[in-house]
Chains A and B, each alone.
Chain A
Amino acid sequence: MTDHPASSWALSRIPGLGCVCPCRSTRAKGGSYLGAVPFLIAVTALLVLASGVVLLATYNARSPVASLQILSHAVPQGWLVRAYHASGTTLLAGLVYLGLFHGLLTRAYRAPGEYAWMLGVKLLAVLLAASWFGYVLSGGAGGYWSYQRAMMAALQFHGAARGLALWVLSGGLPKLLVLHLLLALSAGLALWAWLAARAKVRATPPPGEAVPFYPYYAAQYLVALCALGFVGALLIGFLPHLGMPALNAVPGSGLSFAANPGLPWYLAPLGAAAGSFHGAWGGIGAVIALAVTLYAVPWLDLAPPEAPPSRLHQALTWLLGAVVVALGVDGTMPGCPLAPVLDPLLTLYVFLHFLVLLPLVTWGRAK
């Protein structure tokens, strides 16, 4: 199939478009549905961004709960816009986690994909940061006390770190709103860069192995899009608060004290990992160490780029996925008596997987 002149004009000028737009000429035969995840991420990100722009029109950071209540009581379909933003975030985070997990499983990070992989990790990091600010901006007690805890932690620092942390956090919700917007835009840019980098390093299939995008992959993407719509309808219609701490239904104020407010599910694994280390520096150190470790995965995997992952390697990756889910489940249940024992063990296992097990299982294959 030859590209339409207009689409090839656009493709040659807009980096990354080829990865999301169903006009790319050829792909390898027999790709899995998970290959459509980056496309779904782009669609969901547009939805979250668009609903966020509409939310901006009525949101008031000085009286968050009241302004959101006006949105959902008095603005026609205002509740739906809010639901798009909230459930869209859940979908987006889920898809980014899924995309990275798929990358680990298929060794998508191997050369020449290292840079694309690192951009994917960056996307996750910026997205999670943006979503924490969004959680606080919702004005619920969960977000309120999570914010208070961050302020307390900032006060434990000294010198420049304290100054920086307090500069970010003080100033209340109006400042957090600006940071939320900045981080959301950065997430958009990271997404764009990630898609562009992936499109650049995608291997051109050998002649006999290639099929044109249209109609083969276009049909597959349509199936994936319908599945996304189905899950989205399920979340918005029937599970609008999925993975949110129940506490967040209470308006946040000094009256609604909660020592352990809990986090939305997508932040919960990170929260549980950070909580496993002593003090504010321990928590921040754990998060930074996790990010650096994920960045370094292409070099921790010692097998040659073209080798398919071994059975053992795949089994270990599934186990890692299960451990991260367990961390998340633990993190969404504040006050779970097992947490103080379980969280450090699970967190250590995550580091063990990347720093010890991954080099070990791939080492033998290097020879």
Chain B
Amino acid sequence: MMRPFILPLLALLAGAAPAAAQTVPSFASSGPLGHIDAAAAQRGFAVYEASCAACHSLSALHYRDLEGLGLTSAQVAGIASGIKLADGTAATPDSPFKPATLPASAFGGALPPDLSSIAAQRPGGAAYIYAVLTGYTPAPAGITLMPSHYYNSAYPGGQIAMPPPLHDGAVTYADGTPSTTAQEAADVAEFLTWASDPTLTARHEIGLRALIFFGFLFVLALVLKRQAWSNQS
């Protein structure tokens, strides 16, 4: 009786899924067993430095924290020494990330937010960041943009003060990955997910091990308890 209803429904779902997957890539970090994809996050750091750092600070991070993404201390020292701080000296691994240089007045008072915990603050996390970065389209007919705003289908309200920050080839990846806009957006979203939750991988690993451990112990304890009480009665 149910089949005629279920089959079209299934077909609908099957048809809908690939379409959704095309718009937002799947992130290694999403889901209960997700982990930070260190290679993607390293590329994402390159994107941040090249395309976001001028406007957005990342005040919670020090350069040494990048070792958490699998960089060696020598690599981190190299990265830091290439960054000129406001007083003209080079950064060291123990410096906090360099503050943004563009004044907020540059965007008519729309303050570029600090990105340290943006992935935790916005529902959807990495997927939302990706959607905003790739959501720039020409404004639909009938919509008048506010001065120095851009139409963005993923941003609540549709009008964002951030100019489109990414374009194909904005960075050259060290690992040779082609730097398309979508690739850059996905990588920087993974990097920002790591920035707001640097222990995500360890948390999921430890959590899973503890679940298995306590689950196993629970069953053992239950058997023990049953045995003890059956002797008694």
Q: How far is the CB of A278 from chain B (nearest CB, A)?
A: 33
- The stretch of B46-54, B59-67, B157-165 in contact with A is B59-67
- Asked whether B204 lies within 8 Å of A219 as measured between CB atoms, the reply is no
Cβ–Cβ < 8 Å partners of A211 in chain B:
232
Q: How far is the CB of B233 from chain A (nearest CB, A)?
A: 8
Q: Which residue of A lies closest to B208 (CB)?
A: A237
A164 at the interface (CB under 8 A from B): no
| Residue count of chain A within 8 Å CB distance of chain B | 33
B120 at the interface (CB under 8 A from A): yes
- Asked whether A249 lies within 8 Å of B198 as measured between CB atoms, the reply is no
CB contact between B228 and one of A80, A216, A251 (< 8 Å): that residue: A216
CA distance A70 to B203 in the complex (A): 17
B210 at the interface (CB under 8 A from A): yes
- Asked whether B198 lies within 8 Å of A238 as measured between CB atoms, the reply is no
Cβ–Cβ < 8 Å partners of B224 in chain A:
219, 222
CA distance A29 to B229 in the complex (A): 10
Interface residue SS majority, chain A: helix
Q: Which residue of A lies closest to B68 (CB)?
A: A73
CA distance A240 to B206 in the complex (A): 13
Q: How far is the CB of A60 from chain B (nearest CB, A)?
A: 14
A57 at the interface (CB under 8 A from B): no
- Asked whether B221 lies within 8 Å of A219 as measured between CB atoms, the reply is yes
Given contacts A219-B229, A226-B221, A240-B203, contact A69 B60 (CB under 8 A): yes
A189 at the interface (CB under 8 A from B): no
Q: How far is the CB of A14 from chain B (nearest CB, A)?
A: 27
A250 at the interface (CB under 8 A from B): yes
- The stretch of B11-19, B73-81, B185-193, B212-220 in contact with A is B212-220
A307 at the interface (CB under 8 A from B): no
- Asked whether B210 lies within 8 Å of A237 as measured between CB atoms, the reply is yes
B110 at the interface (CB under 8 A from A): no
- Asked whether B121 lies within 8 Å of A249 as measured between CB atoms, the reply is yes
Residues 110-145 of B at the A interface (beta carbon under 8 Å) = 111, 114, 116-117, 120-121, 123
- Asked whether B206 lies within 8 Å of A222 as measured between CB atoms, the reply is no
CA distance A255 to B114 in the complex (A): 12
A132 at the interface (CB under 8 A from B): no
A8 at the interface (CB under 8 A from B): no
Q: Which residue of B lies closest to A235 (CB)?
A: B207
Q: Which residue of B lies closest to A211 (CB)?
A: B232
- Asked whether A73 lies within 8 Å of B60 as measured between CB atoms, the reply is yes
Residues 226-265 of A at the B interface (beta carbon under 8 Å) = 226-227, 229-230, 232-234, 236-238, 240, 246, 249-251, 255
- Asked whether B204 lies within 8 Å of A73 as measured between CB atoms, the reply is no
- Asked whether B62 lies within 8 Å of A73 as measured between CB atoms, the reply is yes
CB contact between A73 and one of B32, B61, B202, B206 (< 8 Å): that residue: B61
CA distance A334 to B207 in the complex (A): 30
CB contact between A72 and one of B198, B204, B207, B225 (< 8 Å): that residue: B198
CB contact between A226 and one of B198, B207, B217, B232 (< 8 Å): that residue: B217
B199 at the interface (CB under 8 A from A): yes
A160 at the interface (CB under 8 A from B): no
- Asked whether A237 lies within 8 Å of B204 as measured between CB atoms, the reply is yes
Q: Which residue of A lies closest to B233 (CB)?
A: A29
B222 at the interface (CB under 8 A from A): yes
Cβ–Cβ < 8 Å partners of B204 in chain A:
237-238
B211 at the interface (CB under 8 A from A): yes
Q: How far is the CB of A231 from chain B (nearest CB, A)?
A: 9
CA distance A66 to B202 in the complex (A): 21
Cβ–Cβ < 8 Å partners of B218 in chain A:
223, 226-227, 230
CA distance A72 to B200 in the complex (A): 11
Q: Which residue of A lies closest to B205 (CB)?
A: A237
Q: Which residue of A lies closest to B196 (CB)?
A: A249
CA distance A256 to B204 in the complex (A): 30
A349 at the interface (CB under 8 A from B): no
A220 at the interface (CB under 8 A from B): yes
Q: How far is the CB of B93 from chain A (nearest CB, A)?
A: 12
CA distance A212 to B204 in the complex (A): 41
Cβ–Cβ < 8 Å partners of A74 in chain B:
62, 65
Sample of 27 A–B contacts (CB below 8 Å): A66-B60, A73-B61, A73-B68, A79-B202, A80-B206, A219-B224, A219-B225, A220-B225, A222-B221, A223-B218, A223-B222, A223-B225, A226-B214, A226-B218, A226-B221, A227-B218, A229-B217, A230-B215, A233-B210, A234-B207, A236-B210, A237-B204, A237-B208, A238-B32, A240-B203, A251-B117, A255-B111
Apart from A79-B203, A216-B232, A236-B203, list 9 A-B contacts with CB within 8 A. A69-B116, A219-B228, A222-B225, A226-B214, A230-B214, A230-B218, A233-B211, A236-B210, A238-B207
* Those 6 A-B pairs whose CB atoms lie nearest each other, nearest first: A237-B207, A233-B210, A226-B218, A219-B225, A229-B214, A230-B214
